[in-house]
Amino acid sequence: MFDRFIHFLQLELAIPADAIALGIKTGERDPDRFATILLQYGLLTIDQLEKVLDWLDEP
């Protein structure tokens, strides 16, 4: 699931690879926590966070 999540961040939200690398560097592999980390560092907007949460809620 984490690989699909990273793919979503890159393709759907255009999150830069260096921002994703920073999140990965934290060692967090939980998409919920990962998104929070990106938000805390200012690498994810509130609108993008909403899209992430919607994606995570999909079956």
Which residue in 27, 37, 25 sits closest to 52, CA to CA?
Answer: 37
- When pLDDT is averaged across residues 35-53 and rounded to a whole number, the result is 91
Angstrom distance (rounded) from CA 17 to CA 20? 5
Q: Tokens 């759907």 belong to which residue? A: 12
- When pLDDT is averaged across residues 38-57 and rounded to a whole number, the result is 92
**DSSP 8-state assignment for residue 43:** S
Model confidence at 33: pLDDT above 90: no
Angstrom distance (rounded) from CA 39 to CA 44? 5
Q: What is the pLDDT of residue 23?
A: 82
Question: What's the pLDDT band for 13 if we cut at 50, 70, 90?
Answer: very high
Instruction: Write down the mean pLDDT value for the chain.
Output: 88
